[in-house]
């Protein structure tokens, strides 16, 4: 069976949000249409505590975009985003959630970020997504959402490592492109690991 993974289509990641991905809202009609083709649809949701270590505001003399060492891992500092229970953390209202079987929260530990829907950035904790998909008999995943060069990329890399045939649907994903070329580099890296770009 093939499942659709919808990554982080949340208010803070689209136009008007604190960490808006250019063109983020534009993918939603396609994501809604795609869901009809899958018997299993799963979504991930960035779900940070307010004191999260990835927020620039929680570090003295640091700015958004700076790279620091966070408990032994390289960490890009971001604006405050997707704080648990806030409007910014909610799914965008135009995203159809009626077919979503289960939502997996990530980034819940203030000490470590979680780009991937499967693990935190240090692979120290598991969200349970991989086990859930395997229990449902899933062998392949198609991935869509935000953002191509971070959460989509790392979710895809973990999916392929876990043995799922993995495809990223380019038209239904958008990237941050913090530095020019980041999105293209992400696609090249994913392809080099056996991920299909469609």
Q: Are 25 and 19 in contact (CB under 8 A)?
A: no
- Which of 169, 168, 165, 151 lies closest to 10 in space, CA to CA? 151
**Catalytic residue list contains 158:** no
**Catalytic residue list contains 151:** yes
Q: What is the dihedral of CA 58, 64, 66, 68, to 10 degrees?
A: 20
**Catalytic residue list contains 8:** yes
Residue in 46, 106, 149, 158 annotated catalytic: 106
Q: Which residues are paired to 41 by β-bridges?
A: 4, 100
Residues of 60-76 as b/e, b for ≥16 C-beta within 10 angstroms?
A: eeeeeeeeeebeeeebb
Residue in 113, 120, 151, 158 annotated catalytic: 151
Q: Are 24 and 7 in contact (CB under 8 A)?
A: no
Residue in 8, 46, 120, 149 annotated catalytic: 8
How far is the C-alpha of 138 from the C-alpha of 40, rounded, in Å?
A: 9
Indicate which residues carry an active-site annotation: 8, 106, 151
């Amino acid at each position: 069976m093939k499942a659709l993974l919808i990554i982080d289509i949340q208010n803070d990641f689209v136009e008007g949000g604190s960490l808006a991905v250019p063109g983020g809202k534009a993918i939603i009609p396609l994501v809604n249409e795609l869901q009809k083709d899958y018997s299993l649809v799963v979504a991930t949701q960035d779900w940070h505590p307010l004191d999260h270590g990835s927020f620039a505001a929680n570090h003295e003399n640091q700015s958004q975009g700076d790279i620091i060492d966070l408990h032994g891992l390289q960490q890009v500092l971001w604006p405050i985003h997707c704080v648990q229970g806030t409007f910014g953390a909610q799914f965008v209202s135009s995203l159809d959630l009626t077919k979503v079987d289960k939502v997996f929260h990530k980034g819940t530990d203030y000490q470590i970020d979680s780009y991937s829907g499967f693990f935190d950035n240090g692979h120290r904790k598991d969200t349970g997504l991989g086990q859930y998909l395997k229990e449902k008999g899933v062998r392949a995943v198609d991935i869509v959402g935000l953002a191509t060069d971070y959460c989509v990329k790392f979710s895809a890399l973990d999916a392929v490592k876990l043995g799922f045939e993995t495809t990223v649907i380019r038209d239904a994903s958008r990237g941050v492109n913090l530095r020019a070329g980041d999105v293209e580099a992400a696609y090249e890296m994913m392809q080099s690991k056996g991920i299909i770009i469609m």
